[in-house]
Structure 1
Amino acid sequence: MRSKWNYDFVKASKYFYIFSIVLTIAGIISLSLFKLNYGVDFRSGSNVDVKVSKDVTKQDIEKVLAETKLNQKDVQITPGSGRVNIRFPEVLTSNQESDLKAALVKDIDKNASAEVNTVDPEMARELQQNAIYAVLLASLGIIVYVTIRFEWRFAVAAIVALLHDAFLVISIFSILRLEVNLTFIIAVLTIVGYSINDTVVIFDRVRENMRFAKIKTHTDLHDVVNKSISQTMTRSINTVFTVFIASVCLLIFGSESIRMFSLAMVIGLLCGAYSSIFIASPLWYGLKGLQKNVKSKPSKTTT
């Protein structure tokens, strides 16, 4: 199969390695100093969803909260939806909930209704642990699957690329101080799924081309990897592009409750697209090149 993509992907991968390493180091520093900006799902506190029948401003809500002497963490209003979200760093007591609902009805809208969702510290810790376990179990399952279907070198390259994608998304959220909640974890797991799909497609083509190639030198192996990426490039771009457009639309037109999910998807899809091409495949090339039967230079023929 011929491809119009005539580009040395393996050679260019070193620049993406540098970019990923720099961003990873920045992420490690940010996580060490500032950690993640956890939402109520992963940190104890109360989240209040308010439904009103008229337009209100953030200042109106903050004025009511000041009167009730409640220290809110954040106030989010979705324009035109009649919904207000208020996040509190502490768990509200029954009296505080009653006072808040009464103040909203009195000063904001007589038809206002409020739903309070509370997460205690023990539940928050459990959710954090379960989120980590979910990502680790997904990674373990992928390792087993790729090892059985291909070989251990493919599995190592795939899992490095997946961890790379997940950590880059986490790093960007940490650096930009974006909120991490349950929808963020769902986005990370979805990103892992799309990333491994693109990676496996390329690996499958590499394996197929290896059957018919006579690999004697690193140059031969180099050409096989570049050829395999070129043959699958159009498919990879089309797949990612369609999901990327949908995620951007959700980010722009979606509600506030899924905004962080959409943003994580947008970032993760971009990271996953280039990691499958410039991280996973070149990494497999490096591991495969360590085999003794692959020479670093073309063998000389004797006459």
Structure 2
Amino acid sequence: MRFKWNYDFVKLSKYFYTFSIILTIAGIISLAVAGLNYGVDFRSGSNVDVTLTKPLTEAQVAPVVESLNLSKDPSISVGGDGRMSIRFETVLTDTQENQLKQAFNKQLDSGASFEVNTVDPTIAKELERNALWAVLLASLGIIIYVTIRFEWRFAVASVVALLHDAFLVISVFSIFRLEVDLTFITAVLTIIGYSLNDTIVIFDRIRSNLRFAKQRKRGDVADIVNKSISQTMTRSLNTVLTVFIACLLLFIMGSESIRMFSLAMMIGLAFGAYSSIFIASPLWLVLKNRQKPKAKAPSKTTA
């Protein structure tokens, strides 16, 4: 037996609009004041991944690394799989890399192996620019696709919803100073796909119900939206929960390199779950209600 969700989703949407507006304003302020906490993928510097042969703590490694004076405020993070990451804000020279390796092997772990990844300022700016273009081109493609399949009002509502999801994820990462790297961009683009998928399912049901419903007044369209959301709610929640649980397990049990990806996915899935229901569909309803009624054809009179 299918559970019936008998709620006035259109009426409830005003609370979610308020929440989204507040978080959007907070995100804009955070981005304007502090920006994003870019990882080494988006800023110049060197990232040294160390594979350890014995357990070491950050407290043991920090004094050795800082004594070399290779860079200001090096960042050290210890993974749970025998790996350690040391990040420098400046690009290390070959001499500095050798100096770090020798000091590490001599004072901390003689069997440790190293992998050095370097990003110069030009590449960092190019990656940032390409990431922005990827989101914009994806949005443009979605507008074209949804307009062809449905109508422009559906296209506008779906793009607003997916940009809403992407921006709120970015806002959360900015507010809480979470690190942004290439896996974060992958997560944002994946979130856009999931959000669009849920939105299209609801829109397809709205379109189907519109064909057979009698619309005598403005409230009838709102009833159709509520009915369509109710009919697809179980499917939407099942899809989101399945992926959310998988991302949660990756966040808890996965390696350090995919932790921010998993976290971004979980945040984005939560935003995407309610944006399809409480942002996209009510926004389409607003645009639909502003549609000018078609002029009635003059009736023919017989002589």
What is the TM-score when the length of structure 2 is the normalising length?
Answer: 0.95
The aligned residue for residue 33 of structure 1 is: 33
Contact kept? 2:44, 2:119, Cα under 8 Å:
yes
* Whole-angstrom distance in 2 between the partners of 1:3 and 1:87: 51
Question: Matched residue of 1:85: which SS?
Answer: strand
C-alpha displacement at 1:3, in angstroms?
A: 5.8
The aligned residue for residue 243 of structure 2 is: 243
C-alpha displacement at 1:292, in angstroms?
A: 2.6
Give the letter aligned to residue 210 of structure 1.
Answer: L
The aligned residue for residue 84 of structure 1 is: 84
The aligned residue for residue 15 of structure 1 is: 15
* Whole-angstrom distance in 1 between the partners of 2:16 and 2:82: 45
Give the letter aligned to residue 111 of structure 1.
Answer: G
Question: Matched residue of 1:48: which SS?
Answer: strand
* Whole-angstrom distance in 1 between the partners of 2:271 and 2:115: 37
Question: Matched residue of 1:41: which SS?
Answer: coil
Question: Matched residue of 1:90: which SS?
Answer: coil
* Whole-angstrom distance in 2 between the partners of 1:31 and 1:232: 35
Matched, 1:260 2:266: no
* Whole-angstrom distance in 1 between the partners of 2:218 and 2:76: 58
Contact kept? 1:3, 1:231, Cα under 8 Å:
no
* Whole-angstrom distance in 2 between the partners of 1:69 and 1:29: 35
* Whole-angstrom distance in 2 between the partners of 1:111 and 1:231: 60
Q: How do residues 1-303 of structure 1 correspond to structure 2 at under 5 angstroms?
A: 4-70=4-70, 71-79=72-80, 81-293=81-293
1:182-202 per-residue CA deviation (whole Å, 9 max, x = no partner) reads 000000000000000000000
Number of aligned residues: 293
C-alpha displacement at 1:291, in angstroms?
A: 1.7
C-alpha displacement at 1:50, in angstroms?
A: 0.5
* Whole-angstrom distance in 1 between the partners of 2:73 and 2:31: 24
* Whole-angstrom distance in 1 between the partners of 2:252 and 2:228: 36
Contact kept? 2:198, 2:236, Cα under 8 Å:
yes
Give the letter aligned to residue 39 of structure 2.
Answer: G
C-alpha displacement at 1:169, in angstroms?
A: 0.2
Identity %, equivalent residues = 68
C-alpha displacement at 1:238, in angstroms?
A: 0.2
Question: Matched residue of 1:172: which SS?
Answer: helix
1:71-112 per-residue CA deviation (whole Å, 9 max, x = no partner) reads 343111113x22110110111111110100001110111111
* Whole-angstrom distance in 2 between the partners of 1:159 and 1:66: 47
Tell me how large the CA RMSD over aligned residues is: 1.3
Contact kept? 1:3, 1:230, Cα under 8 Å:
no
* Whole-angstrom distance in 2 between the partners of 1:67 and 1:224: 68
Contact kept? 1:54, 1:82, Cα under 8 Å:
yes
Contact kept? 1:65, 1:72, Cα under 8 Å:
no
Question: Matched residue of 2:78: which SS?
Answer: strand
* Whole-angstrom distance in 2 between the partners of 1:180 and 1:141: 25
1:4-23 per-residue CA deviation (whole Å, 9 max, x = no partner) reads 11000000000000000000
The aligned residue for residue 297 of structure 1 is: none
What is the TM-score when the length of structure 1 is the normalising length?
Answer: 0.95
Between stretches 259-268 and 65-74, larger displacement belongs to: 65-74
Contact kept? 2:64, 2:104, Cα under 8 Å:
yes
C-alpha displacement at 1:218, in angstroms?
A: 1.3
Contact kept? 1:31, 1:174, Cα under 8 Å:
yes
Between stretches 214-223 and 146-155, larger displacement belongs to: 214-223
* Whole-angstrom distance in 2 between the partners of 1:250 and 1:76: 18
* Whole-angstrom distance in 1 between the partners of 2:78 and 2:291: 59
Contact kept? 2:66, 2:74, Cα under 8 Å:
no
Contact kept? 2:43, 2:125, Cα under 8 Å:
yes
C-alpha displacement at 1:216, in angstroms?
A: 2.5
> Runs of 5+ in structure 2 lacking a partner?
295-303
Question: Matched residue of 2:41: which SS?
Answer: helix
* Whole-angstrom distance in 2 between the partners of 1:214 and 1:292: 18
Between stretches 9-18 and 65-74, larger displacement belongs to: 65-74
